[in-house]
Amino acid sequence: MRFRVKHVTRYVYEQPASHSHNDVRLTPIDAPDQKRVAFRLDVTPAAEISEYRDSFGNLTHSIDIQSPHTELVISSSSVVDRFALPAQPSARITFHDYLADDSARMKEYADFLNPSRYVPFSDRLRRFFWSVRPQLSEDITAYTERMIPYLRNQFGYDGGTTHVHSTVDDILTTGGGVCQDFANLSIGLLRLAGIPARYVSGYLAPDPRHAASSVPTQLASHAWIEALLPGTGWTGFDPTHRTRTMIRHIRLAVGRDYNDLPPRIRRLQQLRWQPPHGL
């Protein structure tokens, strides 16, 4: 299935910025089930653009603007082919057997097993994990598939209770959140269970069967997770929708949590550096 995606980000500054530097991850990932056919990045005002791979292998664009400006518009256009690959049967492994290799797994996947900025192993998270902890006789994949919908059913979808810098403690305190929060919380529970888990940013295309018209749908970006499961490797789950990922999920980048993936904005105003922050 082929998708065409237009992504526009606009920043307006109260005072002119004499210089700004930005790092963005807007290029769809190339993978066996996803092929980037075309990609274009446009920036206004005129900018110097270079690209590099970050520590997680994501294609990142570095944008540098020297001239004074009060508005910045970053626009990306992508054409992506998504493929439905044959389902790979998972290997049935109980936690009792799986955790026997825990030390070796920790060495190889430490980034996705340890706490991170938005996924701290806090007392509140540990208490919640205790309520959904697996049994030693439970299968790894079966536990993951059970835990994802269970977790989502405990919390409401509410964009007013958290923000982009919220940690897992915030959703556990407020009882509601958005896709970023559900992803971070799922990651925390899986890591505490010993299952490597990572954060994924991207898009969830609308279901063409439910399209009310031919007018392109305007959507925000989306977030979900991937868990490293026996026999199947990195496997996508969308906690917000209580399901595995499907052909309409388009991946842009992966990281430990949201902190690894937001736009990095640095701008110079009135000859004074402003602190970097993710938007």
Would you say residue 275 has pLDDT above 50?
no
Domain count, the chain: 2
Mark whether 116 and 241 lie in a shared domain: yes
Mark whether 110 and 237 lie in a shared domain: yes
88 assigned to some structural domain: no
252 assigned to some structural domain: no
Q: Confirm if 27 and 59 have CB atoms less than 8 A apart.
A: yes
181 assigned to some structural domain: yes
pLDDT (mean) for 259-275: 54
The per-residue pLDDT for 211 is 54
Query: What is the spatial distance between Cα 228 and Cα 141, in angstroms, rounded to a whole number?
Result: 9
User: Higher confidence at residue 269 or residue 124?
Assistant: 124
Mark whether 240 and 269 lie in a shared domain: no
89 assigned to some structural domain: no
217 assigned to some structural domain: yes
Question: What tens digit of pLDDT does each residue of 69-111 get?
Answer: 999 999 999 999 999 888 777 889 999 999 999 999 999 999 9
The per-residue pLDDT for 204 is 93
Mark whether 57 and 126 lie in a shared domain: no
User: Higher confidence at residue 209 or residue 54?
Assistant: 54
Mark whether 79 and 127 lie in a shared domain: no
212: CB partners within 8 A, 6+ apart: none
Mark whether 73 and 148 lie in a shared domain: no
Question: Of 32-41, 174-183, 255-264, which has the strongest mean pLDDT?
Answer: 32-41
Question: What tens digit of pLDDT does each residue of 36-61 get?
Answer: 999 999 999 999 999 999 999 999 99
The per-residue pLDDT for 262 is 77
Mark whether 223 and 134 lie in a shared domain: yes
Mark whether 70 and 110 lie in a shared domain: no
- Domain harbouring 201, CATH code: 3.10.620.30
Mark whether 222 and 265 lie in a shared domain: no
Q: Token pair of 52, please?
A: 């590099």
Mark whether 223 and 99 lie in a shared domain: yes
- Domain harbouring 14, CATH code: 2.60.40.2250
Mark whether 148 and 34 lie in a shared domain: no
Q: Which of 32-41, 200-209, 217-226 has the lowest mean pLDDT?
A: 217-226
Average pLDDT score over the chain: 88
168 assigned to some structural domain: yes
90 assigned to some structural domain: no
Q: 158: helix, coil or strand?
A: coil
Would you say residue 272 has pLDDT above 90?
no
Mark whether 22 and 77 lie in a shared domain: yes
Helices (H), 85-221: 95-98, 102-108, 123-132, 140-153, 168-174, 179-192
| Cα atoms in the 13 Å half-sphere on the side-chain side of 108 | 9
179: CB partners within 8 A, 6+ apart: 222, 223, 224, 239, 240
* Range of the structural domain that residue 134 is part of: 95-246
46 assigned to some structural domain: yes
Q: Confirm if 238 and 250 have CB atoms less than 8 A apart.
A: no
Q: How confident is the model at residue 210 (pLDDT cuts 50, 70, 90)?
A: low
Would you say residue 276 has pLDDT above 60?
no
